[in-house]
């Protein structure tokens, strides 16, 4: 992400005006419809293949997308580092069970981990003796997770923590309701003074007896003495492919069939200041040893459980090609000069070796030790996040480019600069384009954005696009329709555009730093916004065959359409998919005519899918997660000449099942 938000007041005013416009215009248009003609030229000579990696996703650590989101870790600030390196420090969101007469809690720098030295120190003053008895249930600390932990009945949670103790130990680890009164699962760790004189790692499983979407983790004792704690983790045992991703959220991504995964930002990759940037090498190796960092771009701490390795693993699990946005020495407020950039260049080359070096290389061996000896298939590296305008960008870019290409000639390098600046002396395989528009109609007008772009290399990666202004709300239908039209424009211009992804992908509803987002969640619920569902209409496009289309309609310029043929792996049939966006308030009676198909269209087996709603400003919510979602229905009387109805404010796809070539005589 990298643009400023429009002022709220301005946006609200525009929103009101627009609602009025719609109300008036739809009243005027009541009962009206349009007739139009859509011609598809399906001749092989005019067909063109859409790039294999056309549609992907862009993950940025924003809105607690990863920490407290896709990354399934339930404990927030598990290493007590979030308060900074100077102790005693803020232990937020940890809180104390007991009062100052029974327990003193603080931090000190006695951790066994060199890179994250802060540990929690609990001095327990009470005990089991009657004269100085601890309150029933003991004293200690609790962690509420990220706005409550979702604990499910019968599910198993893996607990891991490091403990040191001044005395014999009896520490109860439990999952409880948010007030601590209801116990869901508990385990007591006991040991002699000798056992816990040194830092000791303890791991065990907890199985919950109940459901609670707002649980907390408690660590309590009734024994006096000093107990130190560090790297306290609770993970559900069941995660997506066993790799630590929240199952429901990762499945939402998998259902989009993304062809690439761009990560980790955005401004997150840069930081407001370089000391807070995402530094890949600080996020790999055993999770306990990762220092974590403050995501100053979006205002929260991350323990970096979701690190460079995990991003690569996620891409692999999704069948997506990783696109790594490297920190190129620029933050929002600073820049490393070209004279001193060499060590950062080396760091990025090392990162590529970490991702795809053989296990016998220096960095490849670290990846192998993390359980992935096989190199990851990293083919795309983006140099920075749209900071072409900065003083040293181009000078630094060239150093990154030549060093990366020298070590990895096959890697595609993405420039943050405009196409016009790319030349043999400033080469690039792709150039990055971000498209944020202040209104849906502005995005709709960008359908033709690449129509006049010169063909040939380098092609564009439109790695961030979204309607962000007035009528986008928290994810409206109309914004999704405008984005659909924009993507149709990208399909049609896929000889100038290689890849595209929307932004942002995720928002934890408890920390909305940016609106709108494609997927909304909290500790236990999730839903897709209309633009999430819109993307489903494009998931067969990557690698498909594009056919030219023309629309003829008088006095109505609110349609956008494209046609592809694609192979359905499930039923092994070929389909002609015609997508139509109707961005206006009139229904359209559309005659479709397809010419030049090598085979015919089957009379049955075709399907239409429509994304629409009663109002263009409709949104989904936890209460109505699929208020605006695609609805499929069989399509009868299909043929190369056919009539279809296109709803006002809708995205429709018509999937015409094609005859196998040998049955051509059956064609209509």
Ligand X SMILES: *[C@@H]1O[C@H](CO)[C@@H](O)[C@H](O)[C@H]1NC(C)=O
Binding site for ligand X (CB under 6 A): 33, 35, 152-153, 211, 358, 360, 589, 643
Instruction: Closer to ligand X by CB, 642 or 658: give it.
Output: 642
Min. distance of Cβ 542 from ligand X in angstroms? 31
Query: Considering beta carbons, is residue 209 or 441 the nearer one to ligand X?
Result: 209
Find the shortest distance in angstroms from Cβ 142 to ligand X. Answer: 22
313 close to 71: Cβ distance less than 8 angstroms: no
CB of 374 to ligand X, least distance (A): 11
CB of 35 to ligand X, least distance (A): 6
Nearer to ligand X, 582 or 657 (CB): 582
Nearer to ligand X, 168 or 647 (CB): 647
Its sign, for the CA torsion 454, 458, 463, 469, is negative
Give the nearest distance from C-beta 524 to ligand X in angstroms. 7
Cβ proximity to ligand X: between 589 and 604 the closer is 589
Smallest gap from Cβ 586 to ligand X, in A, equals 11
Q: Which among 150, 392, 156 has a CA at the least distance from the CA of 249?
A: 150
Q: How many CB atoms lie within 10 A of CB 200?
A: 16
Q: Are 629 and 533 in contact (CB under 8 A)?
A: yes
Residue number with CB closer to ligand X (10 or 153): 153
Residue with tokens 């694609």: 566
- Signed CA dihedral, 155, 158, 163, 168: sign only: positive
Q: Answer for the pair 63, 504: CB distance below 8 angstroms, yes or no.
A: yes
Between 591 and 667, name the residue whose CB sits nearer to ligand X: 591
| 642 neighbors 603 (Cβ within 8 angstroms) | no
Cβ distance to ligand X smaller for residue 153 or 193: 153
Shortest distance (Å) from residue 124 CB to ligand X: 35
Cβ closest to ligand X, residue 117 vs residue 587:
587
* Residues β-bridged to residue 465: 435
Token readout for 406 is 């020298």
Of 337 and 593, which CB lies nearer to ligand X in the complex structure? Answer: 593
Minimum CB separation of residue 316 from ligand X in Å reads: 19
DSSP string, 525-536: -EEE-HHHHHHH
Of 500 and 592, the one with the shorter C-beta distance to ligand X is: 592
Nearest distance, CB of residue 211 and ligand X, angstroms: 4
Output the smallest distance, CB 633 to ligand X, in A.
17
Least gap, CB of 589 to ligand X (angstroms): 3
**Distance, C-alpha 586 to centroid of its chain:** 35
Three-state DSSP class for residue 560:
strand
Distance CA 664, CA 454 (A): 39
Query: Which of 359, 543 has the CB closer to ligand X?
Result: 359
In angstroms, the CA 122 to CA 112 distance is: 16
**For ligand X, the closer CB: 305 or 357:** 357
Task: State in angstroms the smallest separation of the CB of 29 from ligand X.
Answer: 14
Output phi, psi for 338, to 5 deg: -60, -30
SS (H, E, C) 183-250: EEEEEEEEECCCCCCCCEEEEEEEECCCCEEEEEEEEEECCCEEEEEEEEEEEECCCECCCCECHHHH
CA distance 97 to 135: 10
Sign of the alpha-carbon dihedral angle for 526, 499, 306, 318:
positive
Strands 650-657 and 606-612, by their bridges, are antiparallel
Taking the complex as a whole, the smallest distance from the CB of residue 510 to ligand X amounts, in Å, to 19
| ∠ CA 386-389-390, rounded to 5° | 100
CB of residue 238 vs ligand X: minimum separation in angstroms? Answer: 12
Contact by Cβ (8 Å): 322, 309: no
Contacts of residue 357, defined as CB under 8 A and 6 or more positions apart, other chains included, come to 363, 364, 367, 375
Return the number of the residue (208 or 272) whose C-beta is nearest ligand X.
208
Q: What are phi and psi of 278, to 5 degrees?
A: -75, 115
Distance of closest approach, residue 643 Cβ to ligand X, in angstroms? 5
CB nearer to ligand X: pick between 108 and 152: 152
Q: Give the contacts of 60 (CB within 8 A, at least 6 positions apart).
A: 1, 263, 264, 265, 266, 267, 268, 503, 504, 505
* CA–CA gap between residue 593 and residue 600 (Å, rounded): 12
Enumerate residues 6+ apart whose C-beta is below 8 A from 529: 474, 475, 480, 516, 517, 518, 519, 520, 619, 620
Cβ proximity of 488 and 451 under 8 Å: no
């Amino acid at each position: 992400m990298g643009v400023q938000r429009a002022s709220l007041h301005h946006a609200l005013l525009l929103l009101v005006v627009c609602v009025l416009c719609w109300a008036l215009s739809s009243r005027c248009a009541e009962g009206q419809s349009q007739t139009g003609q859509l011609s598809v030229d399906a001749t092989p000579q005019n067909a063109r293949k859409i790039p294999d990696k056309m549609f992907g996703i862009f993950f940025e650590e924003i809105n607690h997308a990863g920490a407290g989101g896709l990354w399934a870790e339930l404990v927030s600030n598990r290493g007590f580092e979030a308060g900074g390196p100077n102790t005693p420090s803020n232990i937020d969101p940890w809180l104390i069970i007991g009062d100052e007469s029974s327990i003193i809690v603080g931090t000190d720098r006695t951790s066994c981990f060199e890179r994250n030295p802060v540990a929690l120190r609990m001095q327990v003053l009470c005990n089991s003796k009657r004269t100085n008895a601890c309150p029933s249930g003991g004293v200690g600390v609790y962690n509420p997770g990220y706005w409550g932990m979702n604990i499910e009945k019968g599910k198993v949670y893996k607990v891991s923590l490091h403990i040191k103790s001044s005395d014999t130990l009896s520490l109860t680890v439990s999952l409880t309701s948010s007030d601590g009164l209801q116990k869901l699962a508990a385990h007591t760790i006991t040991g002699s003074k000798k056992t816990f004189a040194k830092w000791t790692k303890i791991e065990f499983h907890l199985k919950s007896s109940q459901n609670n979407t707002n649980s907390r983790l408690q660590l309590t004792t009734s024994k006096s003495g000093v107990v130190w704690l560090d790297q306290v983790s609770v993970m559900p045992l069941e995660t997506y492919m066993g790799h630590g991703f929240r199952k429901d959220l990762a499945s939402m991504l998998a259902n989009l069939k993304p062809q690439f995964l761009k990560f980790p930002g955005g401004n997150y990759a840069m930081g407001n200041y370089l000391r807070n940037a995402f530094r890949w090498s600080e996020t790999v190796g055993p999770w306990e040893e990762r220092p974590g960092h403050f995501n100053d771009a979006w205002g929260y701490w991350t323990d970096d459980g979701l690190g460079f390795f995990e991003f690569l693993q996620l891409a692999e699990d999704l069948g997506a090609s990783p696109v790594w946005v490297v920190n190129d020495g620029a933050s929002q407020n600073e820049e490393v000069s070209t004279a001193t950039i060499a060590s950062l260049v080396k760091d990025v080359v090392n990162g590529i070796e970490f991702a795809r070096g053989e296990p016998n290389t220096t960095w490849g061996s670290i990846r192998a030790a993390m359980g992935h000896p096989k190199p990851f298939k990293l083919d795309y590296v983006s140099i920075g996040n749209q900071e072409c305008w900065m003083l040293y960008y181009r000078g630094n870019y060239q150093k990154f480019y030549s060093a990366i290409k020298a070590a990895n000639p096959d890697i595609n390098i993405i420039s943050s600069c405009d196409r016009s600046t790319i030349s043999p002396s400033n080469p690039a395989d792709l150039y990055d384009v971000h498209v944020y528009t202040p209104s849906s109609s502005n995005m709709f007008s960008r359908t033709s954005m690449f129509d006049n772009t010169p063909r040939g290399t380098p092609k564009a990666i439109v790695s961030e696009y979204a309607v962000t202004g007035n009528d986008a709300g928290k994810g409206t239908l109309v914004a999704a329709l405008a984005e659909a039209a924009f993507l149709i424009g990208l399909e049609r211009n896929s000889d100038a555009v290689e890849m595209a992804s929307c932004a942002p992908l995720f928002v934890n509803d408890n920390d909305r730093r940016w609106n709108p987002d494609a997927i909304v969640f909290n500790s236990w619920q999730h839903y897709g916004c209309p633009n999430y569902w819109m993307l489903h209409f494009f998931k067969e496009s990557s690698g498909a065959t594009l056919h030219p289309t023309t629309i003829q309609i008088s006095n109505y310029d609110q349609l956008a359409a494209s046609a592809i043929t694609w192979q359905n792996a499930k039923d092994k049939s070929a389909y002609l998919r015609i997508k139509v966006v109707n961005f206006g308030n009139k229904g359209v009676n559309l005659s479709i005519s397809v010419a030049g198909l090598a085979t015919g269209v089957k009379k049955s087996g075709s399907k239409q899918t429509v994304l629409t709603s009663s109002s263009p400003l409709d949104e989904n919510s936890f209460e109505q997660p699929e208020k605006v979602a695609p609805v499929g229905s069989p399509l009868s009387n299909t043929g190369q000449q056919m009539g279809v109805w296109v709803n006002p404010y809708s995205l429709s796809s018509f999937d015409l099942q094609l005859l196998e070539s040998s049955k051509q005589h059956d064609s209509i």
